[in-house]
Amino acid sequence: MKKTDKLVQLLNSHIEDKDILEVACGGAEFSISASTMAKSVSCIDLDDSRLNELINHTDIKFQIMDASKMDYPDDSFDTIVIYNAFYHIQSQWEDIARECSRVLRKDGKICIASTWKLDIGLMKEYFGNDVKWEDEFLIVMM
Ligand SMILES: C[S@@+](CC[C@H](N)C(=O)[O-])C[C@H]1O[C@@H](n2cnc3c(N)ncnc32)[C@H](O)[C@@H]1O
């Protein structure tokens, strides 16, 4: 089973029939996995150089967009996922976190999940006891 399929299973209650946004999606593997269960999936990155062409066969809405200045209206998503990308966005985290909170619905969740060594250390440093291991993923829900 693909890692991202496993993560979607773990996050099932936050994915099934929900409007999902993946931030800093890179290849968008998480979005592709989530699209089998979610109501809708949107994903953004600063560029499309890594984007998996499989996305063309799905309903996923990919956009080139800076996560620290999103174009989405307030209260657009039920769940926002940042997968294997925390290290790459850490210097912008304050702005990205503010934007994520703005576009998230009232009872929504932001999920940062990673299997990457570089992310793991940083996530522990930033989020302390709020991080937890689920299978091979270090996860923080906020
Ligand atoms: C490690 S890579 C991709 C990780 C991706 N989730 C994956 O699994 O393939 C991190 C990504 O963060 C993106 N990124 C960095 N800053 C960003 C920002 N402000 N807005 C959107 N994407 C950003 C980079 O362009 C890069 O594609």
Average pLDDT, the chain: 96
Q: pLDDT tens across 88-141, in order?
A: 999 999 999 999 999 999 999 999 999 999 999 999 999 999 999 999 999 999
Task: State the average pLDDT over residues 69-79.
Answer: 98
Confidence (pLDDT) at 51: 92
Split at pLDDT 50, 70, 90, the class of 56 is confident
Q: From the CA of 67, give the closest atom in ligand 1.
A: 20
Q: How far is the CA of 27 from the centre of ligand 1 (A)?
A: 9
Confidence (pLDDT) at 25: 97
Pocket test residue of 33, 43, 88, 115 for ligand 1, highest count of atoms within 8 A of CB:
88
Confidence (pLDDT) at 74: 98
Q: From the CA of 47, give the closest atom in ligand 1.
A: 25
Confidence (pLDDT) at 53: 87
Q: List CB contacts of 28: < 8 A, sequence separation 6 or more.
A: 22, 43, 45, 51, 52, 55, 60, 62
Q: From the CA of 68, give the closest atom in ligand 1.
A: 19
Confidence (pLDDT) at 54: 87
CATH number of 3-141: 3.40.630.30, 3.40.50.150, 2.102.10.10, 2.30.40.10?
3.40.50.150
Which residues are near ligand 1 (CB < 6 Å)? 24-27, 29, 44-47, 50, 66-68, 83-85, 88-89, 92
Return the percentage of the chain with pLDDT > 90, whole number.
Answer: 94
- CA–CA gap between residue 58 and residue 61 (Å, rounded): 9
Confidence (pLDDT) at 43: 98
Confidence (pLDDT) at 57: 85
Confidence (pLDDT) at 42: 98
Task: State the average pLDDT over residues 81-91.
Answer: 97
- CA–CA gap between residue 39 and residue 35 (Å, rounded): 8
